[in-house]
């Protein structure tokens, strides 16, 4: 929302400094995002005095003028019919930049050099009048900047208005905040030429004004409807001051009646609508719910279907406006309009929100009604609007306006305990200070039963409970006035989330293993039948929530490949989602995924180069990840395809690892991936085991395994037959050769008894037992050396 510094200054009766004003507003919560001069684009334009008008030698319709520019006299070619010697006009020299970024150059027009240009209102963005150059009735000397001469110089503040403060959407609301900060009062200026307008007559549900019967049937959607009839207006351009005001807040002048309604909108946040009475059929104006299936064509030419959840303004024959959103084209004010009915209403906030959402129409009016206009201030707004319209467009009221209002609004009263102010703000604020602060922005206070009864002004619909008033006190006193003081606090009852602790541990282990943490988008293309769709996705690439982390990581690998990176190691900890039936949210699971490709370690000059990650790196990594991500214990076993599956103690599949398919360049190394659920179980506490003091005895066994026997089978038999002396079993070699039927795998067995030193003979017996068992159960024998 734009505030005009001149306009605010007029309401406050003082001159305002732009930066100081911006600062004042920001500290009370109306943050100023930008301060910019209005009409900055006219900075190059000055007053030019035409001293002499001569004929252009080569063109009948052009004149050759001698123009005094303050810096001397130049010859300017002019095409305007209204140029006269002795008059002043806006003059732009060659090199000046005009609105729209148009840069003026010195050039020949029909063979004669023109040094700059005399400008029309349209060329300056000051109006639509194209009939000729802008005649200036000013005493300013030639060379005076136009902005100065016309009093156009103004500063515009861009204010970030929060949705709870509809009052700040108008100049008066902003001015009130400044008035409170500066100890001033806000006074709406009288309009020159305005008659004394009588107050509106209040009626309950219907009444007649200027021959029009106004009936409010839907008082839920429209609790208050003010209507005035003005006859004999002359539609035309607004006076310059009114146009300037509108331009200063970014609005476009249209004609005097429309401009007047827009002025009131921007001054006091009351949207208005003018109907052409001669287009009203049947002399009636009815405010009612729409009938389902009813339609209306609005001012913008769009046709809209309506429902009974919308409030309409109708004449005897049908809808003529969508209440609080937009008027219809059938009753629009035109250049020929002479008699108008002016609507000044309060529409229900929720009704307007629902209507404009359903119709997808966001208008200046709906924006304000939805946030809440001033229900109590409505009659005053109507009166001021009538004054302004008559002042700028003429006409008169045949009779006083009416104010249709079934139940007069009662001002809201909120009770405030000064003790509660201290309780919440941490600082005791004296009662007289509270009264002064709240009074400064329009609250009325009276002590009652040890509390303050605070009457809320109509323009503050956001204030409904005590805490709203406490915020007002804090805000108006200034947040800076509260000390930064660390006071004692009690420890929390909430423990750390186990998943957060576990994630931190996983990050620690995986970064130490040389893997970077990645982040991918949880939104992506459909990933399987259990993918949860998004109802309103941003793009066709992001239609579902992910069911797995790996696809996103593979996309990241491919992006790295396209950046010519070959060595890529990434992991991600993130949620995956599985759709559910019914109204419940999808099931979320925390996962960890890893991708690996390229060199196992950075290349080194002294090493054999080019060793890439292989299947055994993947399996080892999988075991590491399982160790930290599944502290409750999990088994890694071949998955029946090319990879491994991870299963929990209860047999549920927790994840898998293996080589991945990816669209890699020819130079890329194989890509491996791991994805498993991140368990939140606690790691079993470490129990210390006594360190052995007796010596071990080692035995190496090279065994020939037939094709059907797996290393895991051999280990199981070895452990089973080895007895309690067998401390560890580990593969240390594999050998395949043509002369062998099967392959030779070598194990190192370590024997130890923690209580005594073992003798070779008993270990030999144990080894023989193991060999017997292997032969009987698996047909595995020792390799002949």
Partner 1 sequence: MAHVPAEDQLEHIAAAIDEIATADVQRLEQLRTSLLGRKAGALTHVLRSIPALDAEQRRTVGRRANELKHAIESAITARERTLAAAVGTGPAVDRTMPGRRRWRGARHPITQVVDEICGIFRELGFSRIMGPEAETEEYNFTKLNIPLDHPAADMQDTFYLKPGVVLRTHTSPVQARTMERYAPPIRVVVPGLAYRRDPFDPSHAPVFDQIEGLVVDEGVSFVDFKAAIDFFAKRFFSADTAVRFRPSYFPFTEPSAEVDAQCQNCRGTGCSTCKQTGWMEIMGAGMVHPAVFEACGIDSERYTGYAFGMGPARIAMVRYGIPDIRMFFDNDMRFLDQFLE
- Please report, as residue ranges, which positions from 423 to 482 form the binding site for partner 1 (by CB under 8 A): 423-427, 465, 467-468, 470-471, 474-475, 479-480, 482
Q: Which token pair is 47? A: 């007053």
> Any contact of residue 530 with partner 1 (CB under 8 A)?
no
| Alpha helices (runs of H) in 630-676, residue ranges in sequence order | none
CB of 513 to partner 1, least distance (A): 7
For residue 8, the number of C-alpha atoms closer than 13 Å in the C-beta half-sphere is: 29
Give whichever of 96 and 473 is closer to partner 1, judged by the CB atom: 473
Give whichever of 230 and 441 is closer to partner 1, judged by the CB atom: 441
113: helix, strand or coil = strand
Binding residue for partner 1, selected from 571, 644, 672, 747, defined by CB under 8 A: 571
CB of 161 to partner 1, least distance (A): 9
**Quick one: how many helices (H) and strands (E) in the chain?**
17, 41
What is the per-residue binding string for partner 1 in 363-402, x denoting contact by CB under 8 A? -------xx-------------------------------
> Any contact of residue 28 with partner 1 (CB under 8 A)?
yes
For residue 319, the number of C-alpha atoms closer than 13 Å in the C-beta half-sphere is: 28
> Any contact of residue 577 with partner 1 (CB under 8 A)?
yes
Task: Give the strand order in the sheet containing 635-638.
Answer: 516-517, 568-578, 587-597, 671-677, 653-659, 644-647, 635-638
> Any contact of residue 517 with partner 1 (CB under 8 A)?
yes
> Any contact of residue 589 with partner 1 (CB under 8 A)?
no
Please state, in angstroms and rounded to a whole number, the distance separating the CA atoms of residues 712 and 331: 89
Please state, in angstroms and rounded to a whole number, the distance separating the CA atoms of residues 777 and 784: 20
What is the per-residue binding string for partner 1 in 404-423, x denoting contact by CB under 8 A? -------------------x
Give whichever of 162 and 724 is closer to partner 1, judged by the CB atom: 162
Give whichever of 168 and 244 is closer to partner 1, judged by the CB atom: 168
> Any contact of residue 225 with partner 1 (CB under 8 A)?
no
> Any contact of residue 610 with partner 1 (CB under 8 A)?
no
Identify the residue whose tokens are 């240009």. 117
Residues 724-743 touching partner 1, rule: CB under 8 A, are none
Binding residue for partner 1, selected from 492, 609, 708, 755, defined by CB under 8 A: 492
For residues 172 and 269, the answer to whether their CB atoms sit within 8 Å is: yes
Binding residue for partner 1, selected from 61, 487, 712, 756, defined by CB under 8 A: 487
Angle, CA of 465, 187 and 33, to the nearest 5°:
65
Q: How many residues bind partner 1 (CB under 8 A)?
A: 95
CB of 585 to partner 1, least distance (A): 4
CB of 632 to partner 1, least distance (A): 20
Residues 233-292 touching partner 1, rule: CB under 8 A, are none
Residues 537-556 touching partner 1, rule: CB under 8 A, are 537-539, 542, 545, 553, 556
> Any contact of residue 334 with partner 1 (CB under 8 A)?
no
> Any contact of residue 19 with partner 1 (CB under 8 A)?
no
Q: Which stretch binds partner 1 (CB under 8 A): 60-68, 303-311, 339-347, 599-607?
A: 599-607
> Any contact of residue 668 with partner 1 (CB under 8 A)?
no
Give whichever of 429 and 767 is closer to partner 1, judged by the CB atom: 429
What is each CA distance from 773 to 237, 525, 709, 745, in whole angstroms? Answer: 109, 54, 14, 17
Please state, in angstroms and rounded to a whole number, the distance separating the CA atoms of residues 629 and 638: 19
Please state, in angstroms and rounded to a whole number, the distance separating the CA atoms of residues 560 and 671: 13
Residues 138-197 touching partner 1, rule: CB under 8 A, are 162-165
- Which residues in 299-320 are b (16+ Cβ under 10 Å) and which e? beeeebebeeebbbbbbeebbb
Q: Residue 696 class from Cβ within 10 Å (0-12 exposed, 13-18 middle, 19+ buried)?
A: middle
Give whichever of 536 and 755 is closer to partner 1, judged by the CB atom: 536
- Which residues in 254-271 are b (16+ Cβ under 10 Å) and which e? bbbbbbbbbbbbbbbbbb
Binding residue for partner 1, selected from 185, 278, 413, 499, defined by CB under 8 A: 499
């Amino acid at each position: 929302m734009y505030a005009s510094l001149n306009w605010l200054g007029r309401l406050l009766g003082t001159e305002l400094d732009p930066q100081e004003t911006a600062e004042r507003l920001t500290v009370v919560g109306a943050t100023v995002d930008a301060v910019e001069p209005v009409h900055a684009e006219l900075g190059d334009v000055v007053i030019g005095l035409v001293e002499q008008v001569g004929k252009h030698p080569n063109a009948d319709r052009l004149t050759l003028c001698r123009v005094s520019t303050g810096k001397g006299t130049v010859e300017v070619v002019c095409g305007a019919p209204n140029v006269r010697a002795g008059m002043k006009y806006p003059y732009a020299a060659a090199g000046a930049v005009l609105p729209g970024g148009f840069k003026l150059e010195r050039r020949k027009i029909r063979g004669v050099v023109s040094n700059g240009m005399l400008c029309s209102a349209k060329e300056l963005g000051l109006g639509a009048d194209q009939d000729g150059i802008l005649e200036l009735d000013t005493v300013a000397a030639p060379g005076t900047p136009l902005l100065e001469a016309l009093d156009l110089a103004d500063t515009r503040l861009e204010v970030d208005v929060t949705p709870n403060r509809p009052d700040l959407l108008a100049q008066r609301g902003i001015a009130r905040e400044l008035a409170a900060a500066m100890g001033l009062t806000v006074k709406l200026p009288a309009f020159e030429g305005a008659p004394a307008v009588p107050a509106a007559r209040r009626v309950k549900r219907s009444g007649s004004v200027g021959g029009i019967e106004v009936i409010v049937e839907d008082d839920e959607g429209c609790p208050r409807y003010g209507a005035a009839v003005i006859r004999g207006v002359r539609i035309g351009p607004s006076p310059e001051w009114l146009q300037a005001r509108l331009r200063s807040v970014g609005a476009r002048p249209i004609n005097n009646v429309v401009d007047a309604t827009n002025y009131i909108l921007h001054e006091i946040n009351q949207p208005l609508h003018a109907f052409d009475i001669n287009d009203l059929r049947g002399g009636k104006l009815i405010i009612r719910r729409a009938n389902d299936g009813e339609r209306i064509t609005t001012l913008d030419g769009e046709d809209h279907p309506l429902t009974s959840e919308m409030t309409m303004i109708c004449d005897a024959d049908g809808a003529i406006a969508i209440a609080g959103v937009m008027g219809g084209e059938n009753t629009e004010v035109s250049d020929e309009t002479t008699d108008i009915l002016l609507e000044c209403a309060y529409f229900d906030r929720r009704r307007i929100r629902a209507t404009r959402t359903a119709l997808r129409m966001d208008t200046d009016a709906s924006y304000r009604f939805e946030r809440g206009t001033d229900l109590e201030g409505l009659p005053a707004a109507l009166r001021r609007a009538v004054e302004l319209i008559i002042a700028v467009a003429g006409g008169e009221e045949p009779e006083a306006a009416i104010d249709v209002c079934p139940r007069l609004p009662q001002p809201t009263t909120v009770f405030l305990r000064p003790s509660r102010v201290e309780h919440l703000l941490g600082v005791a604020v004296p009662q007289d200070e509270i009264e002064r602060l709240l009074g400064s922005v329009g609250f009325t206070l009276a002590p009652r039963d040890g509390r303050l009864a605070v009457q809320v002004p109509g323009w503050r619909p956001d204030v409904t409970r005590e805490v709203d008033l406490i915020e007002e006190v804090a805000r108006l006193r200034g947040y800076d006035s509260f000390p930064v003081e660390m006071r004692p606090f009690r420890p929390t009852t909430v423990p750390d989330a186990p998943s957060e602790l576990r994630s931190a541990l996983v990050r620690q282990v995986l970064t130490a293993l040389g893997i970077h943490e990645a982040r991918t988008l949880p939104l992506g293309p459909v990933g399987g039948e259990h993918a949860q769709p998004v109802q309103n996705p941003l793009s066709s690439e992001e239609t579902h929530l992910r069911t797995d982390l790996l696809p996103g990581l593979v996309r990241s690998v491919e992006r790295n490949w396209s950046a010519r990176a070959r060595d890529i190691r990434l992991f991600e900890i993130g949620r995956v989602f599985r759709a559910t039936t019914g109204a419940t949210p999808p099931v979320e699971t925390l996962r960890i995924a890893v991708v690996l490709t390229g060199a196992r370690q950075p290349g080194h000059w002294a090493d054999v180069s080019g060793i890439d990650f292989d299947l055994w790196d993947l399996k080892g990594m999988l075991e590491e990840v399982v160790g930290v991500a599944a502290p409750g214990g999990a088994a890694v076993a071949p998955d029946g395809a090319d990879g491994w599956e991870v299963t929990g103690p209860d047999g549920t599949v927790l994840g898998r690892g293996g080589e991945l398919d990816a669209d890699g360049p020819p130079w890329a190394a194989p890509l491996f991936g791991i994805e498993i659920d991140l368990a939140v179980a606690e790691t079993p506490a470490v129990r210390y085991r006594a360190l052995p003091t007796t010596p071990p005895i080692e035995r190496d066994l090279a065994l020939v395994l037939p094709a059907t026997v797996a290393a895991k089978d051999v280990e199981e038999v070895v452990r089973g037959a080895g007895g309690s002396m067998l401390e560890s079993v580990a593969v240390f070699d594999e050998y395949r050769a043509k002369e062998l039927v099967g392959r030779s795998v070598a194990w190192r067995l370590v024997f130890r008894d923690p209580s005594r030193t073992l003798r070779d003979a008993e270990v030999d017996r144990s080894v023989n037992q193991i060999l017997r068992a292997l032969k009987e159960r698996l047909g595995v024998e020792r390799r002949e050396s």
